[in-house]
Amino acid sequence: MDLTREEQAILDGEEGESRQKAMELVTALGKIYGAEDLIDITSAHLSGASYKTIGDGGLKYLEDMAAGGAKVSVPSTLNPVGMDRDRWREMHITPEFAEKQLRIIDLYGEMGVQKTCSCTPYTGANVPSLGDHVAWAESSALSFVNSFIGARTNREGGPGALAAAILGKTANYGLHLDEKRKPTVVIDADIDGSVFSYSMLGQAVGMAIGTGIPYFRGISPETEEAKTLSAAMAAAGSVALWHAEGATPEAGSFDVSDLEVIHIGKPELEAAYSKLNTVDDVQLIALGCPHLTEKEMHQIAAFLKGKRKVNKDVEIWFCTSAEVRAKCPEDVKVMEEFGPVLADTCMVVAPIEGAFQRTGTNSAKAGNYLPTLCSQKAMVRDVSALLEVVM
C-alpha cells in the first residue's frame, strides 16, 4: 500500500503504541482487500460495546487501549450496550454484568468516544453527509448511511472501526470506490408500504440474494422504512448498500437495464414471515430494533393511549436512544404504563436469555438474531399485533 510519510511514521511507532496498533490493523485490512492507500474519514460508529458480546477478552483489549492513551481523532459514537445504564435491574441484569458494562462505556469515554449508545446515531448524534467517507460498524446503521444518505463505508467490525476512529483514516477499498457501489440486481418490490412490510421485504431480499447491491423499484422509503429495510437485509443476508429508484441519492446515476430482475411479492413475503416466526406465545415483547425514532415513539404512544395492559405475564420493552427518550416525555409516560422505555440497549445485545425463552418483535433483524444470539424462539409481527397480545 502507498502510505504517506506521516502514515508510515505511525506504523513505525513514532506516535505511540496505540496508534501503531491501529495502523497495523487498518493496513492489514487494506492489504487483504487490495486497497492502494488510506482515505480520511469524517466519523466513526463503533460496535463491540455490550459486555455480553465482547466478554472479558474485549474488556481487557479496551483497558489496554485506553491505558496506552488511545484517543479517537474523529467524531465517534457507540452502538447499544447490554443494559440501560440506570434501569438495568428492571432488565434482570446482575450487578456483576452491570459493573463490567459500565466500565466498558467509561473506557470508550476515556478514548474520546461519545457515550451515546444507539444503532440509529444518524437521526441525531452522528449524521454523515452525501459523499462522506466514514468507518461505521453496526450492519443496519452502516447500510442506512451508505444507502439513504450516500455516505461511504465498508462493513466494518468493532476493532476495525475503532482503529479507523483513532487514526481518522481507513483503507480505501470496497464501498469507498465509485465502481463498487453499482447495483448488482434489480428488485421489483410489491409491498403494502407499512413499516412491517419493509421488514419482511428486507428479509425476503436477504434470503433471495444473500449478498450484493439491490436496486429497488416500487418502494418509497422514509427514515423509518429505510432503517428497517437496511437492518433486515443486513441480517438475513449481508447487504451493506442498496439503492431505491427516486428515493436514494445515488440511484439516478446507474444504468440497470442489463441487470437480472427479481420480483418480491406475496409468496416471498409469506416465506420470509414463516421463516422468522417459530412460536405463537411469548414472555417478552421488545420493540425498537433498530432503535425507535421520535416518530415511532409518537405512533406507539398514540396507539396505547387509553388502553390497559391486561396480560401481566408478558413484559414489554421499548428500546430507543437516551436522546430520543429525553425528547418524548409525554410518549414515555403513556408507554411506561405497559413497560419500561429503555435507553441505549436492545433485546439482542442484552443478556435476555437469563430471563426469557420466547420473545416477540416487529423486526426481521431481531427475528434473525434472537434465536442465534439469545437462544430465543421468536414471534415476528407488526407493532399493533404484538401489543394486542397484552390487552
Binding site for ligand F3S (CB under 6 A): 79-80, 119, 140, 231, 289-291, 319, 346, 348-349, 365-366, 369
The answer to whether residues 325 and 249 touch, using CB atoms and an 8 Å cutoff, is no
CB of 270 to ligand F3S, least distance (A): 23
Rounded to an integer, what distance in angstroms lies between the CA atom of residue 49 and that of residue 348?
12
Cβ proximity to ligand F3S, 188 vs 222, nearer residue: 222
Q: Which among 79, 77, 123, 120 has a CA at the least distance from the CA of 101? A: 79
Cβ proximity to ligand F3S, 300 vs 346, nearer residue: 346
Cβ proximity to ligand F3S, 93 vs 119, nearer residue: 119
> Grid cell 391486561 — which residue?
310
Cβ proximity to ligand F3S, 18 vs 47, nearer residue: 47
CB of 235 to ligand F3S, least distance (A): 8
Cβ proximity to ligand F3S, 80 vs 206, nearer residue: 80
CB of 140 to ligand F3S, least distance (A): 4
Cβ proximity to ligand F3S, 120 vs 172, nearer residue: 120
CB of 204 to ligand F3S, least distance (A): 18
Rounded to an integer, what distance in angstroms lies between the CA atom of residue 22 and that of residue 163?
4
For residue 142, give the 3-state DSSP assignment. Answer: helix
**Residues 6+ away with beta carbon under 8 Å from 165:** 41, 44, 46, 72, 73, 74, 76, 113, 135
Q: Which strand (E) or helix (H) includes residue 6? A: helix 5-11
Cβ proximity to ligand F3S, 248 vs 363, nearer residue: 363
Q: How many CB atoms lie within 10 A of CB 292?
A: 27
Residue 72: HSE in the Cβ half-sphere, 13 Å Cα cutoff: 29
Cell digits of residue 361: 418483535
Q: DSSP E strands: which ranges in the chain? A: 38-40, 44-46, 76-78, 135-136, 169-171, 185-189, 214-217, 243-244, 261-264, 284-292, 315-320, 341-343, 358-361, 377-380
